[in-house]
A and B are shown apart, each in its own frame.
Chain A
Amino acid sequence: MIRYIIRRILQAIPLLFIISLMIFFLLRSSGDPIAMMGGRRATRPEDRERLTRLLGLDQPLYKQYITWLIGNDWSLVDIDGDGIPETPGTRKGALRGDFGNSLVKRGVPAMDLILERLPNTLLLMIPAEIIILLISLAVGIYSALKQYSLVDQVVTAGSFIGYSMPIFFIALASMYIFAVNFRKWGLPYLPTIGMFDPKVGKTFSQVALHMVLPIFSMSVISISGYSRYIRSEMLEVISQDYIRTAHAKGLTERMVLIGHALKNAAIPFVTILAIDIPFLLGGAVVTESIFAWPGMGRLFIDHLGRSDTPVVMGILMMISVAVVFSQIIVDIVYAWLDPRIRYS
């Protein structure tokens, strides 16, 4: 098992290397970071040249990549443009947690900007993930046990519709119903924008109230997909011989359900988490920009619009690392849960 874990981690290294190469070359060939530096245009040719050298953009691409990856603080760089390197480099490189400085907010490390927003994104993602797991398990199991009942059919139809909706439509429709129309009808309505009402301040209840609609919008699609999945998993498990044996032994329905059926149906469920993390992170871009939630997704779209390559690259890399490692964890948990799987 330990050998398996080590092997998986070793396999992740070349994978992340390929990903970083891919993203780096994509982003470096996009736009002109100097033209967009915080909206202040560097028009004079000598300014452009100086900025190009300052950002290291005069170097060949492969050198830029090496600087991005491992930094240049042990060598000298040529800033004044006379061809002789004289200034010590300051970059530490992505491996040491330095994605370079943001171009829009000058002098602020991209990493700091991202880390400042990360907790807000997690504040939406973790509760959303828990809600997705609980509701889709409950719905999936219920409709499997009551197969072809009215509830099952309603759930199946509903999940089909939910699964076909883009996040922004759910978000817009839920805002329209629960915020706009509830207020019109004189009902208690939900806030739609930001993390808290500036008049009240950042209190726990304010933030919790502002979380309701974004989390709802994020979870509908996933719940629709996974409850169908759990339903079919559960149906397959129920028809197995060992369930009949459990019934024959005289176990209560509850014992059979929880002790035998659910335990086996839940194993593939772990993989769902791995599929869901990139999906939720991608969806965060949409959800956060609609609900003006100050998270990583919103940071991404704001800074992408202004060609702030270090921040965009940093966010993409962090998401990819999260995805790769969550997959490793899921594979390990899977191996631990299911004794039929043996890795040699």
Chain B
Amino acid sequence: MKTTIPKTKQYGVEDIESPPLSISQLVWLRFRRHKMALVGVVLLILLILFSTVGALFRTEAYGNITDTSIRLQAPSPEHPFGTDTVGRDLLTRTIYGGQISLMIGLTAVIIQIVVGVLIGAIAGYYGGWIDSLLMRFTEAVFNVPTLPLLLVLSKMLSDKIPTIELFGREFSGSVIVITGVIGLTSWMGLARLVRANFLSLKEQEFVTAARSIGAKNSSIIFSHILPNTIAPIIVSSTLGVAGAIINEAYVSFLGVGVMPPTATWGNMLNGAYKYIETAPWTWIFPGTLIVLTVLSINFVGDGLRDALDPRALVETE
């Protein structure tokens, strides 16, 4: 998002001579009006800072030290978020858990976009039997409720990938499994959306023009039609990040997701309901962070939806 517009300048009739605004300027103008979306952006930045800057003060190893003599301790200056059932420091675990949760959310959405756009674009562009085949498949996946399917897939694959080391940190192989599984069970909505847009866009004149100058199918799909349907994809995938974070939390909460010692906000809550009365801090902190993250992403997504709406763009002009 570019912020090149001078803040004090009001665009009105007297400015008719000024150069027309670019798309990104228009989008930013409209996005800025959405108060809650701005709140969402700020919240999101704070949450990202929490899990990145926080990591400078505490090491991950510190969050993995188990000391049962201090188990389930209430928040104190030494352990601001308290300790969990085996005496690990919850603040450190929420910091590193946040990194994993956010990373899973973002990566799963990338997978979702790749699969969803490919299937939607191919089905919509080629039509015919390819379309009916792909759409039947999409419908089939769509009709199996996501959460049970996610649970089955995670359970089945979680021990298949060994622990890996990346950037000097150890990641449980289950992180990769969960990311992939979430991405592969959430692309259907996006595929339908992209297909619907392709169906209407492919009849337009610019596509005929591109075809008449001999453009290849792949170039028509990716460089002519796809850029015209980018706005709904952006909105859908922003909201998809929130969905992926929630899904990871569900699966890890039920104990088949990311395996300890790697912390995520979801698996920190696994079994927390046993301590609902005696140690509420074990679930209040990670749970609140999940809600805040999802809430701020939903706000941003809602703001983007309004800002990117093509009809709205014309109005601003």
A contacts, CB < 8 Å to B: 14-15, 18-19, 22-23, 26-27, 29-31, 160-161, 163-169, 171-173, 175-176, 179-180, 192, 278-279, 281-283, 285-286, 289-290, 300-301, 304-305, 312, 315-316, 319-320, 323-324, 327
Q: Separation in Å of the B314 CB from the closest CB of chain A?
A: 20
Q: How far is the CA of A261 from the CA of B246 in the complex (A)?
A: 36
Q: Smallest CB-CB separation from B298: which chain A residue?
A: A164
Given A282-B147, A319-B148, A172 and B272 contact (CB-CB distance below 8 Å): yes
Q: Smallest CB-CB separation from B160: which chain A residue?
A: A30
Say whether B77 faces chain A, with CB atoms less than 8 Å apart: no
**When the two chains form their complex, are residues A176 and B298 in contact, meaning their CB atoms are under 8 A apart?**
no
Cβ 8 A contact of B287, one of A172, A300, A301, A304: A172
Say whether B280 faces chain A, with CB atoms less than 8 Å apart: yes
**When the two chains form their complex, are residues B140 and A18 in contact, meaning their CB atoms are under 8 A apart?**
yes
Q: How far is the CA of A129 from the CA of B271 in the complex (A)?
A: 28
**When the two chains form their complex, are residues B291 and A165 in contact, meaning their CB atoms are under 8 A apart?**
yes
Q: How far is the CA of A31 from the CA of B256 in the complex (A)?
A: 13
Q: How far is the CA of A179 from the CA of B145 in the complex (A)?
A: 31
Q: How far is the CA of A279 from the CA of B148 in the complex (A)?
A: 10
Interface of chain B, main secondary structure: helix
Residues of B within 8 A of A23 (CB): 144, 152
Q: Smallest CB-CB separation from B295: which chain A residue?
A: A164
For residues 240 through 271 of chain B, which have their beta carbon under 8 Å from a beta carbon of chain A?
A: 242, 246, 249-250, 253-256, 269
Say whether B22 faces chain A, with CB atoms less than 8 Å apart: no
Given A15-B139, A164-B294, A173-B287, A279 and B152 contact (CB-CB distance below 8 Å): no
Q: Separation in Å of the B205 CB from the closest CB of chain A?
A: 30
Interface 1/0s, chain B 120-157, versus A by CB < 8 A? 00000000000000001101110111111101110111
**When the two chains form their complex, are residues A301 and B145 in contact, meaning their CB atoms are under 8 A apart?**
no
For residues 264 through 317 of chain B, which have their beta carbon under 8 Å from a beta carbon of chain A?
A: 269, 272-273, 276-277, 280, 283, 287, 290-291, 294-295, 298-299, 302
**When the two chains form their complex, are residues B152 and A26 in contact, meaning their CB atoms are under 8 A apart?**
yes
**When the two chains form their complex, are residues B152 and A286 in contact, meaning their CB atoms are under 8 A apart?**
no
Given A164-B298, A166-B250, A312-B152, A319 and B147 contact (CB-CB distance below 8 Å): no
Residues of A within 8 A of B140 (CB): 15, 18-19, 22
Known: A15-B140, A168-B269, A285-B254. 8 other contacts (CB 8 A): A31-B156, A161-B295, A166-B249, A168-B253, A180-B276, A286-B253, A320-B143, A323-B145
Q: How far is the CA of A324 from the CA of B143 in the complex (A)?
A: 6
Residues of A within 8 A of B137 (CB): 18
Interface residues on B, range: 35 or more
Q: Smallest CB-CB separation from A280: which chain B residue?
A: B145
Q: Separation in Å of the A323 CB from the closest CB of chain B?
A: 5
Q: How far is the CA of A173 from the CA of B272 in the complex (A)?
A: 11
**When the two chains form their complex, are residues B250 and A319 in contact, meaning their CB atoms are under 8 A apart?**
no
Residues of B within 8 A of A312 (CB): 152
Can you report 27 A-B residue pairs in the complex whose CB atoms are below 8 A from each other? Answer: A14-B136, A15-B140, A18-B137, A19-B143, A26-B153, A26-B156, A160-B299, A164-B242, A164-B298, A166-B253, A167-B250, A168-B249, A168-B273, A172-B287, A176-B277, A180-B277, A282-B146, A282-B147, A285-B151, A286-B250, A300-B151, A301-B151, A304-B152, A304-B155, A304-B256, A316-B149, A320-B144
Residues of B within 8 A of A290 (CB): 273
Q: How far is the CA of A289 from the CA of B256 in the complex (A)?
A: 13
**When the two chains form their complex, are residues A286 and B290 in contact, meaning their CB atoms are under 8 A apart?**
no
Q: How far is the CA of A320 from the CA of B139 in the complex (A)?
A: 11
Residues of B within 8 A of A22 (CB): 140-141, 144
Residues of A within 8 A of B144 (CB): 19, 22-23, 316, 319-320, 323
Most B CB atoms within 10 A — which of A161, A171, A304, A315? A304
**When the two chains form their complex, are residues A286 and B147 in contact, meaning their CB atoms are under 8 A apart?**
yes
Q: How far is the CA of A46 from the CA of B304 in the complex (A)?
A: 63
Q: How far is the CA of A320 from the CA of B146 in the complex (A)?
A: 11
Q: How far is the CA of A167 from the CA of B246 in the complex (A)?
A: 9
Q: Smallest CB-CB separation from B146: which chain A residue?
A: A282
Residues of B within 8 A of A171 (CB): 273
Cβ 8 A contact of A289, one of B155, B254, B295, B299: B254
Residues of B within 8 A of A163 (CB): 298
Q: How far is the CA of A286 from the CA of B252 in the complex (A)?
A: 11
Q: How far is the CA of A319 from the CA of B143 in the complex (A)?
A: 9
Q: Separation in Å of the B135 CB from the closest CB of chain A?
A: 11
Residues of A within 8 A of B149 (CB): 316
Q: How far is the CA of A301 from the CA of B144 in the complex (A)?
A: 16
Closest 5 CB pairs of A and B: A30-B156, A282-B147, A164-B295, A278-B145, A164-B294
Residues of B within 8 A of A164 (CB): 242, 291, 294-295, 298
Residues of A within 8 A of B287 (CB): 166, 168-169, 172-173
Q: How far is the CA of A167 from the CA of B256 in the complex (A)?
A: 17
